């Protein structure tokens, strides 16, 4: 089981796919882990060298004391790339993973080929929303927030028709370390990347969910509007569009990353 140990964090990662394929890094949402990309992996393995990792505070990565910052989470990605001798890579992140992608695109542009930002936002407020969630998790545990999170992440129709898939995501949330979750909530709370978006130069695709209550389409539209020549696609899904409309999401992602190849 591969890990990267730095002075500050232990990062769990997994590599799949073509030995000589172009590198693609996948970054998970708040409260999940690298398995959140399971619906896409059969297709991605055929075309890419895929690096998935558990964001610090999630999955099998360590839980350093918080709070964290988006910059710190972005530097974790660069540490992984340096460790694996990856000069440049495509990057796809969903929700918090997309925020990490925005930071990388603006601040570590030389390391990013194509950028895919899914169901994400450059600012999510107000701070009181995050402070309330942090306090609730710290006092009552992850189980206290999971039902409301599931309702934001999936449409009612998908929850009724895809019990197994929703249960897998629910289990990821429930098994997320409370300290790690709270520390990452603080990173999202304190993030404002709206002005940084103008510095992103990588070819960028922004994927939104038409029914996304966590990061509504107007938030994704702002991201696309502020990145030069970014493309915007809206899918008929809520927040975890890569699960709710997995095939369409995967086709959209692969099509963008392989365009002109």
* CA 164 to centroid of chain Cα atoms: 22
For residue 14, CA distances in Å to 42, 117, 152 come to 15, 21, 28
Q: Could you tell me the CATH number of the domain that includes residue 7? A: 3.40.50.1820
Question: Are the C-beta atoms of residues 60 and 10 closer than 8 Å to each other?
Answer: no
Per-residue confidence in pLDDT tens, the chain, 261 aa: 799 999 899 999 999 999 999 999 999 999 999 999 999 999 999 999 999 999 999 999 999 999 999 999 999 999 999 999 999 999 999 999 999 999 999 999 999 999 999 999 999 989 999 999 999 999 999 999 999 999 999 999 999 999 999 999 999 999 999 999 999 999 999 999 999 999 999 999 999 999 999 999 999 999 999 999 999 999 999 999 999 999 999 999 999 999 976
pTM of the prediction?
0.98
Burial of 216 (0-12, 13-18, 19+ CB in 10 A): middle
Q: Which domain holds residue 20?
A: 3-257
Number of separate domains in the chain = 1
CA distance 241 to 255: 16
């Amino acid at each position: 089981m591969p890990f990267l140990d730095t002075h500050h964090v232990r990062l769990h990662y997994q590599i799949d796919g073509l030995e000589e394929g172009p590198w693609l890094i996948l970054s998970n949402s708040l409260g999940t882990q690298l398995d959140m990309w399971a619906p896409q992996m059969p297709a991605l393995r055929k075309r890419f060298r895929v690096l998935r990792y558990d964001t610090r505070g999630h999955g099998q990565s360590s839980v350093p004391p918080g709070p964290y910052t988006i910059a710190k989470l972005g530097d974790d990605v660069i540490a992984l790339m340096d460790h694996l001798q990856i000069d440049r890579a495509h990057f796809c992140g969903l929700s918090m993973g997309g925020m990490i992608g925005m930071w990388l695109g603006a601040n570590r542009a030389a390391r990013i080929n194509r950028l895919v930002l899914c169901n994400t936002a450059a600012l999510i407020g107000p701070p009181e929303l995050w402070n309330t969630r942090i306090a609730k998790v710290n006092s009552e545990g992850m189980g206290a927030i999971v039902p409301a999170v599931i309702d934001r992440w999936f449409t009612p129709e998908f929850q009724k028709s895809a019990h197994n898939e929703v249960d897998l995501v629910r289990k990821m949330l429930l098994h997320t370390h409370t300290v790690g979750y709270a520390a990452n909530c603080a990173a999202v709370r304190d993030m404002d990347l709206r002005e940084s978006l103008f510095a992103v130069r990588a070819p960028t695709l922004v994927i939104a969910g038409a029914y996304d209550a966590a990061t509504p389409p107007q938030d994704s539209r702002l991201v696309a509007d502020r990145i030069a020549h970014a493309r915007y696609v809206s899918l008929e899904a809520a927040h975890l569009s890569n699960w709710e409309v997995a095939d369409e999401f995967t086709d959209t992602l692969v099509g963008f990353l392989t365009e002109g190849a």
